[in-house]
Structures are given as C-alpha cells and as structure tokens.
Structure 1
C-alpha cells in the first residue's frame, strides 16, 4: 500500500491452501506462543484483513 492515507509502513500477506491449513497454522503451539510472547507485547498497532478468495 503506497497511499498517503495509509499509516502503515510495512505489511505481509499469507495464503493457505484451504481453511484446514489455516486452522492448523493458527492453532499451532509455535504460532500461539509467538502471538502471546512477541506480537502482543511488542506490536503497538496493526490492521488484520482476513478474506475469502472469490474463486474465479
């Protein structure tokens, strides 16, 4: 995003094969620990966008 209306300087995107793959990632103990131990204490503000592809 390069619009001056966006306050964020960095972003990243992840794609998963299906809902089951996302659920495995999201519930994985390493991910849960990262969010608890690093993300929550260190990230002041963020924007999360979850979407379902249109499936063209």
Structure 2
C-alpha cells in the first residue's frame, strides 16, 4: 500500500530569502533516506488555507514510512531545522482506497 505524506507549513523566513533557500536545500537531503520517494517541495497557491509551502513524498508501505520517521537523518532535520524555522504546519498521510473498502 503506497503512502503519500504531505506537510503544509509556513516558515519564519521571508519568501525568496536566502534562509528560505537554505531550508529547502536541507529538505532535499531527506531524499537520501532510502525509504523516501518522489520528494518535492512546493509553493502552496490556494488562498483557501493559511499555508505557503508544502512537502510531498511517497513511501512504498506503512512500514517504510515508519522507518523514515525513526531514521536519524529525519530526526536530526526535525530537531535542528524544522522546530526552529517552521512556525505552523499540518501533516496529511494518505493511502489509496482498497477495492474492498469501496464496496
């Protein structure tokens, strides 16, 4: 079962600032974690929610997603950068409907 992990968030940095660029450079290093696939950092365009940015990545299974959460590189990123630079966020973890659940 494929897992789509999406995080919507705001940074304390100004848009297009050097600090913003450095943050996303650090984000990109999360793609070195073997379980992470299709890592993208995006600007959120809708005016229907308060978030300016999004991260999106996929995992082949719930097990791989849980491995990512425990990975020392993920934990280090959260402790050293995310907590210091992100002002608010919302996580969304999605899985496809199975045929059985649609019946």
- Normalising by structure 2, what TM-score? 0.48
The residue aligned with 2:48 is 5
Question: Does 2:14 match 1:14?
Answer: no
The residue aligned with 1:55 is 98
Higher strand share: 2
C-alpha separation in 2, matches of 1:7 and 1:53? 26
C-alpha separation in 1, matches of 2:95 and 2:85? 28
SS of alignment partner, residue 11 of structure 1: strand
**1:28, distance to aligned residue in structure 2 (A):** 0.4
C-alpha RMSD of matched pairs (Å): 1.7
The number of equivalent residue pairs is: 56
- Normalising by structure 1, what TM-score? 0.79
Structure 1: 4+ residue segments shifted above 6 A = none
Higher relative contact order (CA closer than 8 Å, sequence separation 6+):
2
* Structure 1 unmatched runs, 5+: none
The residue aligned with 2:86 is 43
* Structure 2 unmatched runs, 5+: 1-43
Larger Rg: 2
